[in-house]
């Protein structure tokens, strides 16, 4: 009987823990940015790598926290591989900080492609310390040159804000 009571208690504790956890909520991240690129460094005759720094201003729209505004800074490297004339694949990675008006930050890994990025949020500082989630964006470019891009993001994803 004692063993059965312990099992019931354990199941009850587990169920309470599951019921109090909050699922990730949908979010929308919109804003403008400027990215500066280094000169391309050749790796092979068809592949080169650049270093980038992206800076922007974004609004994160959430259900539970309302609209939050961030200054965003990202750095990383991106490789471009020429498949054939007129066709190139671009892929890279980096790190981003999204800093709010109080100086608290959301921290994220960034994976880039030719037409967008994915942020993999893995914590932060202050009120954002336990934040987890993913945001995916397809970019809209407003200026393109060899060493500079300007654009606008309209990204969607899911974030878990639970502490």
Measured CA to CA, the distance from residue 81 to residue 78 in angstroms comes to 10
Give the pLDDT band of residue 158 (cuts 50, 70, 90): very high
Burial class (CB in 10 A: 0-12, 13-18, 19+), 152: middle
Q: Quick one: pLDDT at residue 11?
A: 39
Residue pair 51/14 in contact by the 8 Å Cβ criterion? no
Could you give the 3-state DSSP secondary structure of residue 14? Answer: helix
Q: Per mean pLDDT, which range of 81-85, 90-94, 105-109 is the poorest? A: 81-85
Give the pLDDT band of residue 114 (cuts 50, 70, 90): confident
Residue pair 72/56 in contact by the 8 Å Cβ criterion? yes
Average pLDDT, stretch 46-70?
96
Tell me which of 123 and 4 has the higher pLDDT: 123
Measured CA to CA, the distance from residue 97 to residue 78 in angstroms comes to 18
pTM of the model: 0.82
Q: Domains, the chain, ranges and CATH?
A: 24-160 (2.40.350)
Average pLDDT, stretch 86-105?
95
What is the per-residue pLDDT across 131-146, written as a single tens digit (0 to 9) for each? Answer: 999 999 988 888 888 8
């Amino acid at each position: 009987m004692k063993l059965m009571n312990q099992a019931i208690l354990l199941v009850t504790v587990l169920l309470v823990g599951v019921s109090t956890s909050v699922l990730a909520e949908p979010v929308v991240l919109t804003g403008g940015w400027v990215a500066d690129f280094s000169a391309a460094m050749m790796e092979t005759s068809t592949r080169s790598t650049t270093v980038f720094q992206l800076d922007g201003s974004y609004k994160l729209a959430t259900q539970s926290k309302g609209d939050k505004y961030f200054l965003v800074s990202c750095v990383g490297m991106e490789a471009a591989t020429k498949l054939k004339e007129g066709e190139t694949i671009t892929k890279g990675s980096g790190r981003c900080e999204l800093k709010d008006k109080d100086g608290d930050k959301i921290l994220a890994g960034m994976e880039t492609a030719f037409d967008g990025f994915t942020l993999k949020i893995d914590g932060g500082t202050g009120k954002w310390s336990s934040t987890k989630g993913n945001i995916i964006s397809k970019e809209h470019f407003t200026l393109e040159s060899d060493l500079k891009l300007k654009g606008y993001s309209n990204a969607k994803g899911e974030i878990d804000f639970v502490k």
